[in-house]
Amino acid sequence: MDSETVIFAAETGSFEMRKPELLERRNAKWRQYPSDVIPAFVADMDFRIAPAIQRAIQHSVEAFDYGYPMRDGGKADRAVASAFVNRMKNVCGWDVAEAQVLVLADLVQAIYASVMAFSDPGDGVIVQMPSYPPFRDAIATTGRTCVPLTMQATDRSYVFDLEALEATVDANTKIFMLCNPQNPTGRAFTRDELLEVLAFVEKHDLIVISDEIHSDLVYHGTRHIPFASLSPSAAARTVTLNSATKSFNIPGLRCAVAYFGTEELMQRFHKRIPVRLIGSVNSIGIDATVAAWTEAQPWLDEVLNHLKEMRDHVVATLRREIPGIRFQVPDATYLIWLDCSDLGIEGSAFDFFLERARIGFSPGEAFHPECEKFVRMNFATSKPILDEMLDRMITAVRSNRR
Q: In sequence order, what DSSP letters do the residues of 215-257 get, joined into one string? A: TT-BSTTPPP--GGGS-HHHHHTEEEEE-STTTTT-GGG--EE
Q: Which amino acid is at 121?
A: P
CB of 318 to a second copy, least distance (A): 26
By C-beta, is 327 or 363 nearer to a second copy? Answer: 363
CB of 378 to a second copy, least distance (A): 12
CB of 358 to a second copy, least distance (A): 19
Report yes or no: 231 and 203 within 8 Å, Cβ to Cβ: no
CB of 228 to a second copy, least distance (A): 22
CB of 11 to a second copy, least distance (A): 15
User: Nearest 5 degrees, angle CA 69-CA 246-CA 154?
Assistant: 155
By C-beta, is 44 or 212 nearer to a second copy? Answer: 44
For residue 232, cis peptide bond before it (omega within 30 degrees of 0): no
CB of 57 to a second copy, least distance (A): 6
CA distance 373 to 345: 8
By C-beta, is 76 or 225 nearer to a second copy? Answer: 76
CB of 60 to a second copy, least distance (A): 8
CB of 268 to a second copy, least distance (A): 15
By C-beta, is 54 or 86 nearer to a second copy? Answer: 54
Q: Which amino acid is at 294?
A: T
CA distance 341 to 326: 8
Q: Which amino acid is at 264?
A: E
Enumerate binding residues for a second copy (CB under 8 A): 17, 21, 24-32, 42, 44, 48-49, 54, 57-58, 60-61, 63-71, 73, 76, 104-106, 108-109, 112-113, 116, 134, 137-138, 141-142, 249-255, 274, 276-285, 288
By C-beta, is 28 or 91 nearer to a second copy? Answer: 28
By C-beta, is 112 or 200 nearer to a second copy? Answer: 112
Give, for 356, the enclosing helix (H) or strand (E). helix 349-357
By C-beta, is 60 or 86 nearer to a second copy? Answer: 60
Interhelix angle 349-357/383-401, rounded to 10 degrees, is: 100
Q: What are the C-alpha distances in Å from 340 to residues 100, 146, 195, 238, 335?
A: 44, 26, 33, 36, 15
By C-beta, is 207 or 255 nearer to a second copy? Answer: 255
Show the DSSP H helices in 119-254 as ranges: 133-141, 162-166, 191-203, 232-236
CA distance 205 to 330: 31
